[in-house]
Structure 1
Amino acid sequence: MKEHWKDEPDDHDYPAAFDYLTLISPEEAASGLVDQLKQAKLTHRKAKDILRASGLKLLPEDNVHVAKDLAKVKDGTALSPVLLVRGHGHPGFDAREDLVIADGYHRVCASHHLDENADIPCKLI
C-alpha cells in the first residue's frame, strides 16, 4: 500500500489545528498561527523526521485513528496534508522548541507504518 495525498489540507483541518494550538498557546496567538498555516506553501518532509522533530511516539497500527487512516489508504482515498508549527519564533507561542503537529498526527503515524521514508506533504511555519 502506498498513500496518496491531497494538494491542500481539508477545510476542517484548520479549526482542528486551532483547537489544539489553543491548548498550548493563547487564543490570539493560535489564531495568528492558523492564518499563517493557511497562507503557507506546501512542502514535503519524511514521516520519520516529523515524528523525531515533534518528540511524539509512533502510534501503533491498531490505534483507532491510525487504523482509520490506513483503511483510507487501502481504499485509495487521498489523505490531507499535515499542519506543522515550529515551536520557536512565534510571538505568544509557549510550546517547547520542538516541532508541533497542529493537525495530522495520526496521518503521520499511518504513513510511517507504510514507509518511514515517505515524503508527507505539509504546511510548515
Structure 2
Amino acid sequence: MTTVTWLDEPQHHDYPAAASYLTLIAGTDLVDRLIEELRDARNAAFFKAKDILRAAGLALLPADDPHVSSDLRKIHDHKDLSPILLVRGDLRLGITLEIADGYHRVCASYHTDENTDIPCRIASAA
C-alpha cells in the first residue's frame, strides 16, 4: 500500500484558493479573518479522511475525477501533499465543517487509505 505523505506547511497558493471559495459563502471581513487565522495556525491537527468528509457532509469524489487523479499520481510518485485548510462547523447550530481548500486531496487520501492522518489547519467562524 502506498503511504500518503504531507508537507509541513500549506503552500502559499492554498490561502487564496481558500479565500476564493469562502467568499462564496461568507462576507469579505469574515473571510479575511478566517484566512488570517488559518495562516497563523502553526500546529496541525490531524484527522482521518473519512471523518473530514463526514463532518463536511461531502461525498467522496471518484478516483477518476481529474483533480483527485492528479493527487493520486502525486501520492504514487511519493510527492508530499499540502495540508488541508478547514473552517470548523458548529454541531449546536447544524453548521457543517467547511473544507476551505483541499477537498480533492482529502478524497485522494481516502482512496489511498481512509485512515490516513491528514494534517489540517483549522479556523473558527464563531
Instruction: Give the TM-score normalised by structure 2.
Output: 0.91
What is the aligned partner in structure 2 of residue 85 from structure 1?
Answer: 87
1:76 is displaced (CA, Å) by 1.1
How far apart, CA to CA, are the structure 2 residues paired with 1:22 and 1:76? 33
1:86, distance to aligned residue in structure 2 (A): 1.1
CA RMSD between the two structures: 0.9
Q: How many residues align?
A: 118
Q: Which runs of 5+ in 1 are unaligned?
A: 89-95
What amino acid does structure 1 have at the position aligned with 2:29?
E
Aligned to 1:116: 114
Partner residue, 2:26: 25
**Match for residue 92 of structure 1?**
none
The whole-number CA distance in structure 1 between the counterparts of 2:101 and 2:61 is 15
What does 1:91-110 correspond to in 2, within 5 Å? 97-110=95-108
Q: Deviation of residue 27 (structure 1)?
A: 1.1
TM-score when normalising by structure 1: 0.91
Moved over 4 A (4+): none
Residue identity (%): 56
**Consecutive unaligned residues in structure 2, runs of 5 or more:** none
Amino acid at match of 1:98: T
Partners of 2:79 and 2:116 lie apart in 1 by 17
> Which one of 49, 56, 59 corresponds to residue 51 of structure 2?
49
Q: Distance in 2 between matches of 1:74 and 1:62?
A: 15
